[in-house]
C-alpha cells in the first residue's frame, strides 16, 4: 500500500525528535489515508499492511520496519495493540505531506514529517538499508553485501551467475 511508506517515514521522523519516549504517549495523530489505511483491527499480516494504526505503532515501538515487523506474532503483540488504540486520524491533513504528531500526557508533543519525495523514491543508501532489513533471516548475512554490490552494478555484470548464486545462499 503506497501511502504506508510515507506514513512510516513520518513516524520515524517523529521518533527521532528530541524528547521522544514511548512511556507517556497519550495519542498519536496521523493521516490514515481514507480508503487505504483505515483497518483498525488487523487480524493477519495482509490486513496489517492496510492498518495505519498498526504501521505507526510498530514503527514507534521497534524503530525499524521490515518483514519481521509484519509477522503473525507482531500483529497480535499486546504492546503494539495497546499503542494502536491511541493512534487517531489527524484532524487536518496537508495533501501530499504525511505528518505524525505524538502527544504526551502533560501537553508536550513532537511532530515528524515525511521528507521523501512524493513518489517515495529513496536514495541508494536508504534502499540498501531497506534491503538489508528485508533480506536478514532469509539470505546469509555474508551474502547480503555482495548482493547489494551486484545489484548496484548490474549493468556491468557479464552474466547473472553471481547474482543467482548469492541469492540462493539461503539460511
At residue 120, the pLDDT reads: 53
Q: Quick one: average pLDDT of 89-110?
A: 84
Report the distance separating Cα 163 and Cα 108, nearest Å: 50
Torsion of CA 31, 36, 38, 43, to 10 degrees: -130
**In this predicted structure, what is the pLDDT of residue 55?**
93
| pLDDT confidence band for 101 (50 / 70 / 90) | very high
pLDDT exceeds 70 at position 121? no
Q: What's the chain look like in SS3?
A: CHHHHHHHHHHHHHHCCCCCCCCCEEEEEECCCCCCCECCCCCCHHHHCCEHHHHHHHHHHHCCCCHHHHCHHHHCCHHHHHHHCCEEECCCCCCCCCEEEEEECCCCEEEEECCCCCCCCCCHHHHHHHHHHHHECCECHHHHHHHHHHHHCHHHCCCCHHHHHHHHCEC
* Cα 109 to Cα 42: distance, rounded to the nearest angstrom: 27
Residues 19-78: tens digit of each pLDDT: 898 989 999 998 887 667 777 889 998 888 889 999 999 999 999 887 788 888 999 999
pLDDT in tens, 151-164: 989 899 999 899 98
Amino acid at each position: 500500500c503506497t501511502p504506508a511508506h510515507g506514513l512510516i517515514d513520518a513516524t520515524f521522523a517523529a521518533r527521532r525528535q528530541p524528547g521522544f519516549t514511548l512511556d507517556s504517549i497519550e495519542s498519536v495523530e496521523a493521516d490514515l489515508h481514507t480508503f487505504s489505511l483505515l483497518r483498525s483491527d488487523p487480524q493477519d499480516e495482509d490486513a496489517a499492511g492496510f492498518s495505519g494504526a498498526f504501521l505507526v505503532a510498530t514503527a514507534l515501538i521497534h524503530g525499524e520496519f521490515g518483514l519481521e515487523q509484519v509477522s503473525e506474532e507482531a500483529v497480535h503483540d499486546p504492546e503494539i495493540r495497546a499503542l494502536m488504540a491511541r493512534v487517531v486520524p489527524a484532524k487536518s491533513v496537508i495533501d501530499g505531506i504525511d505528518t505524525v504528531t505524538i502527544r504526551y500526557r502533560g501537553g508536550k508533543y513532537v511532530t515528524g514529517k515525511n521528507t521523501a519525495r512524493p513518489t517515495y523514491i529513496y536514495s541508494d543508501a536508504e534502499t540498501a538499508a531497506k534491503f538489508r532489513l528485508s533480506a536478514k533471516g532469509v539470505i546469509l548475512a555474508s551474502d547480503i553485501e555482495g548482493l547489494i554490490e551486484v545489484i548496484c552494478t548490474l549493468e556491468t555484470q557479464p552474466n547473472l551467475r553471481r547474482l543467482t548464486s548469492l541469492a540462493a545462499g539461503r539460511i
